[in-house]
Amino acid sequence: MFVLYELIREVRVDPVNLGQDRVDAIKDEINRKLSNRVMVNIGLCMALWDIKSMSAAILYQGDGGAHSKVTFRYIVFRPFQDEVIIGKIKNCTPDGVHGM
């Protein structure tokens, strides 16, 4: 049901966040971009597990952000085929089913 996926991404840290710890800024940026998003053939991204490695920051001309190539593991919700999930329904609207 929950799986760890290893991903490699180039992460851009905004100039506003360059004052804080580099690792924390990268973690915040990864979670902001991937959390609660569905990735094709991977699943629903839940939260960052850990950072395995990251390159030195690169500054591109005309861009104030610091870009780093980061290898990290992410917790992903991916139900297996024929898996049954049991829960309670709080309410049902035209927008969807909402659980407790």
Single-letter amino acid code for the residue at 46 = M
Per-residue pLDDT tens digits for 35-66: 988 988 888 999 999 999 999 988 888 888 89
| pTM summary value | 0.76
- Nearest CA-CA partner of 73 in 47, 49, 42: 49
Flag whether pLDDT at 88 surpasses 80.
yes
CA–CA separation, 68 and 80 (whole Å): 33
Query: Can you give the pLDDT at residue 94?
Result: 87
Average pLDDT of the chain?
Answer: 89
Q: How confident is the model at residue 98 (pLDDT cuts 50, 70, 90)?
A: confident
Single-letter amino acid code for the residue at 82 = D
What structural domains and CATH numbers belong to the chain? Answer: 2-99 (3.30.1490.120)
Query: Can you give the pLDDT at residue 8?
Result: 94
